[in-house]
Amino acid sequence: MSGETKSKNSGKLLTEGMLLNRMTNRIRQSLELHEILSATVGEVRSFLGTDRVKVYRFDRDGSGQVIAESIGQNRLPSLLGLHFPATDIPPHIREMFVKARVRSIVDVPAQRITFSHLDSLEANGDLTVEDIRQRPIEEILQRSVDPCHIEYLTAMGVNSSLVVPIFHGKELWGLLASHHAEPKVFSASDLHIVQMVADQVSVAIAHSRLLSSARSAARREALINQISTLLHTPLNIQQILQGVLEKIVAAIGGAGGRLYLNPMETSSGPELYTTGTLPKLSGESGESDWLEYHPFWQHLMLQATLPVQATDGWGEKPLERSPKEAAAPVRAIDDLYQQPRLAQVAFAFRHTPIRGMLVMPLRYSQQSLGCLTLFRSEIDTDILWAGRFDPDQRNAKVRQSFDAWREFKRGCAHPWTEEEIELVEGAGTHLSMAVMQNRLYQWEREHRLLVEMRNQELQAARAAADEASRLKSDFLSSTSHELRTPLASTLNYLKLLKEGFYDSEEEFKEYIHIAHQSAENLVAIINDVLDIAKIEAGRMSVSPERVLLAPLIEEQRRLFNLDSRRKGIPLTVECEVESVWADKVKLRQILTNLLSNAFKFTSAGAVRVRAVQRLGGEPAAPLPPVVDISVTDTGIGIDPSKTELLFEPFVQADGSIKRRYGGTGLGLTVCKRLVKLMGGEIWLESAGEGEGTTVTFTLPYRASPNDFDTLKAQGEISP
């Protein structure tokens, strides 16, 4: 090796070292990939001394874009920002870049391509692609250049090229390419350096990815913080949920969103919150119109409640997104018009710009809470292609011009990114927890209320039972007290008779009479008490039938004829009703009781029995007709405020009345209960003390079952 070569080599070595150092420093200094790449292409071009060095990045669909470029002396046109279709670098070439990690050096005039593989080729050793593996490696590395490629490069004005793949992990991220207008030979060390630069770029890409994922994590965290803050504000849950929904929609740049919550077990119905642009199933806004009732949503919500699933149950591949799927089966739809499951509802989106959709079933544990649906509008894209190309014509004719050609596409789907999906997942999870928390809180509160209500009911029931028990023992006590008086009287007079303590025949008869009267009074009380006890125990049965009223009242009139004549109080009868629906025996008992009271408490005037028919119910809402039977007297009357009391056992308006007028004190009590048993009502009216009394009771009028209708048809009943 000559000295000159040596110094040249050492100079070159120095340059190489400096280049790598600078590259490394740049990568360390900046986290912005764009800056690093711009610097890289500049450094590499000056190192290689070629006309153009560019970084070409592959897009998902295999097409790519020149994202960094350095051009020297304008010997080649700029390609920066231009896109190249996927067909320009066909899959087998990309595969070769991946599998063999080749760098190609094309000497266009010599029509020779050199693939110089790296050391990693053997180590990597995964030439799994069939057509590559089956061919001897030498053949791959030394095969001649595709004439088409030669033509392609020539059309670009390139006579020699050097291409080094850039990897991110195992994935082919892009290419570092050098173009030169003249044929150029690269030394092995040059290639080595460029390869090392490409490796540094890989590191930079990794850093950049980390950065952007850290940034999106930060963004996610910020959103979740905002949501958490909202969730803990003292607003009501409706306001909070609306706010959260709006925040999520804004965070992903959505067009609109819906938050549907299942009905709670205890609450009335489902809830829906909406914001922004929404599809419309029909003009109506009712619940039946809700998207969430469509099978697509129903299925997702149901699915969310099932344990981890392998497929989505439709025989389709779950989302391309893997392990988190089971945890939160967010369904990301880039283009809803391409989704067969949505074909039925697609029309609802026609009038909207919506094209993408993100659906996240909300759940807590295995319980489905509802569904968060976010919409995203289609976008118009604007791509600068390197030359107008026609995929069908491409193979026939190589593009002769690489002048920028602007492609403008309307209505493109705007694909959801991993970051966005994760963002929604995070937010949705928080939302689920908040909703669940609120539900648990509400459930707990309702439950507590329910328990309180039940306690109150129990207390009321206990109070009622206590009251009933008290009334019963009061009744027993009163009864025993009331029985003692006639009993004492009977015993007294019997004793007087037994001891012979009478001075005359007259006195003897009087004593017998009083004893007998007292004993009868005792029996009357006992009978009434037994009646009440029977009714209370539910053992008093009534057998209602059609009872002709006039004969029954006439019978009563005869019964009270003696009282009427003795006291000089006429008994008048006005019976305008033919029949009532009643138990004849009970009705007789009631009438006897009321008439006996009337004569008992009247010293002058008249007693009148009246029976009239009227419509039941309110005038506006008539019920079947009833019969009012009233007994009116001109007797002692009663303070109107005390009328209700009279139906209580052993109560008379004035305690002294009983002594003066006798009676069991149970008559009205028995009447009230009997009337009730026959489906009627009873009440007492009086204008006041000394103003007389009217007791009225109602009974159903039912001569025959169809009477009501018949009478109505005949127009005999008018409200």
Partner 1 sequence: MNILLVDDDYLLAKGTAKLIQRIGGHEVTITDTPAEIFQKCQAGEVDVVLMDVNLPGAIWEGQQVSGADLARLLKTQPATAHIPIIMVTAYAMLTERKTLLATSGADELFTKPITDYQGLLQLLNQLCPNKSGIS
Query: Nearest approach, Cβ of 612 to partner 1 (angstroms)?
Result: 37
Indicate whether 524 belongs to the interface with partner 1 (CB under 8 A): no
Q: How many CB atoms lie within 10 A of CB 142?
A: 12
Q: What is the distance between the alpha carbons of residues 259 and 244, in angstroms, rounded to a whole number?
A: 10
Choose, by CB under 8 A, the member of 514, 533, 550, 573 that binds partner 1.
514
- Show the binding pattern over residues 658-687: x = contacts partner 1 (CB under 8 A), - = does not: xxx---------------------------
Strand partners, 261: 271, 370
Which residue, 288 or 656, has its beta carbon nearer to partner 1? 656
Which amino acid is residue 625, in one-letter code?
P
Rg (CA), the chain: 53
Per CB under 8 A, does 320 bind partner 1? no
Residue 660 CB, shortest distance to partner 1, in Å, is 8
* 457-486 residues near partner 1, rule: CB under 8 A: 480-481, 484-485
Select 485 or 613, whichever has its Cβ closest to partner 1: 485
The residue from 119, 138, 265, 499 that contacts partner 1 (CB under 8 A) is 499
- Reported as type and span, the H/E element at residue 631 is strand 622-633
Does 388 sit near partner 1 (CB under 8 A)? no
Interface with partner 1, residue 73, by CB under 8 A: no
By beta-carbon proximity to partner 1, the closer residue of 31 and 491 is 491
d(CA 60, CA 480): 102
Query: Judged by CB under 8 A, which of 493, 599, 650, 697 binds partner 1?
Result: 493
Helix (H) or strand (E) holding 665: none
Residue whose CB is less far from partner 1, 216 or 478 = 478
159, 518, 634, 686: which one contacts partner 1 (CB under 8 A)? Answer: 518
**Cα angle, residue 583 at apex, residues 580 and 584 outer, rounded to 5°:** 80
Residues 55 and 176 sit within 8 Å (Cβ to Cβ): yes
Candidates 32-40, 47-55, 495-503, 663-671: pick the segment binding partner 1 (CB under 8 A).
Answer: 495-503
- Residue 489 as a binder of partner 1 (CB under 8 A): the answer is yes
Report the nearest approach of partner 1 to the CB of residue 598 (Å).
22
Spatial separation of the C-alpha atoms in residues 423 and 417, rounded to whole Å: 10
Does 492 help bind partner 1 (rule: CB under 8 A)?
yes
Which own/partner contact pairs does 53-57 have at CB distance under 8 Å and 24+ positions apart? 53/176, 53/177, 53/178, 53/179, 54/79, 54/80, 54/176, 54/177, 54/179, 55/166, 55/174, 55/175, 55/176, 55/177, 55/201, 56/84, 56/174, 56/175, 56/176, 56/177, 57/173, 57/174
CA–chain centroid gap for 149, Å, is 61
State yes or no: residue 509 binds partner 1 (CB under 8 A).
no
User: Which string of b and e fits 314-337 if b means at least 16 CB within 10 Å?
Assistant: eeeebbebeeebeebbbbbbbbbe
Instruction: For the CB of residue 503, give the shortest distance to partner 1 in the complex, in Å.
Output: 10
693 touches partner 1 by CB under 8 A: no
3-state secondary structure of 323: coil
- Please, which residue, 325 or 654, has the CB nearer to partner 1? 654
The residue among 58 and 650 lying less far from partner 1, judged by its C-beta, is 650
- Strands of the 693-700 sheet, one edge to the other: 571-575, 607-617, 622-633, 693-700, 682-685
* 648 touches partner 1 by CB under 8 A: no
**Six token digits for residue 587:** 């009705």
Q: In terms of CB distance, is 507 or 554 closer to partner 1?
A: 507
Which residue(s) pair with 107 in the sheet?
A: 112, 160
Q: What's the closest the beta carbon of residue 654 comes to partner 1, in angstroms?
A: 7
How is residue 539 written in tokens? 């053992």
Number of residues that bind partner 1 (CB under 8 A): 23
Q: Which of 353, 655, 690, 719 binds partner 1 (CB under 8 A)?
A: 655
Measured from the CB atom, the residue of 312 and 510 that comes closer to partner 1 is 510
The Cα angle at residue 313 between residues 312 and 314, in degrees rounded to 5: 95
> Can residue 215 be called a binding residue for partner 1 (CB under 8 A)?
no
Place of tokens 């997104």: 321
According to DSSP, the β-strands at 607-617 and 571-575 are parallel
Task: Measure the CA–CA gap between 64 and 385, rounded to whole angstroms.
Answer: 10
Taking contact as CB under 8 A, which single stretch among the options 38-46, 416-424, 510-518, 558-566 is the one that binds partner 1?
510-518
β-bridge partners, 573 = 609
Options 495, 516, 534, 614; binder of partner 1; rule CB under 8 A: 495
Least separation, in Å, of the C-beta of 652 and partner 1?
Answer: 9
Q: Which residue, 388 or 484, has its beta carbon nearer to partner 1?
A: 484
Name the minimum Å distance from CB 488 to partner 1. Answer: 3
Q: Which amino acid is at 544?
A: P
Nearer to partner 1, 315 or 500 (CB): 500
Helices (H), 60-177: 91-100, 120-124, 130-133, 137-142, 147-156
In terms of Cβ atoms closer than 10 Å to its own Cβ (0-12, 13-18, 19+), residue 519 is middle
How many of the other CB atoms lie within 10 Å of CB of 5? Answer: 10
The reply on whether position 508 binds partner 1 by CB under 8 A is: no
Q: Residue 266 carries which DSSP code?
A: S
CB nearer to partner 1: pick between 322 and 656 = 656
Q: Which of 148, 488, 623, 713 binds partner 1 (CB under 8 A)?
A: 488
Shorter beta-carbon distance to partner 1: residue 443 or 661: 661
Q: Which of 489/643 has CB closer to partner 1?
A: 489
Is 491 near partner 1 (CB under 8 A)?
Answer: yes
| Contact (CB, 8 A) for 570 and 609 | no
Question: Closest separation between CB of residue 480 and partner 1, Å?
Answer: 7
Strand ranges for 365-468 from DSSP E: 367-377, 379-386, 404-412
**Residue 654 sits in the site that holds partner 1 (CB under 8 A):** yes
Q: How far is CA 640 from the centre of its chain?
A: 57
Residue 416, number of CB atoms within 10 A of its CB: 22
Least distance between partner 1 and beta carbon 573 (Å)? 34
When asked if residue 505 is in the footprint of partner 1 (CB under 8 A), the reply is no
Does residue number 642 form part of the binding site for partner 1 (CB under 8 A)? Answer: no
Q: Which is nearer to partner 1, 487 or 573 (CB)?
A: 487
Q: Give the shortest CB-666-to-partner 1 separation in angstroms.
A: 17
Residue type, 322: S
**Residue 487 interacts with partner 1 (CB under 8 A): yes or no:** yes
* 711: helix, strand or coil: helix
Q: Which is nearer to partner 1, 170 or 498 (CB)?
A: 498
Question: Which residues contact partner 1 (rule: CB under 8 A)?
Answer: 480-481, 484-485, 487-489, 491-493, 495-496, 499, 501, 511, 514, 518, 654-656, 658-660
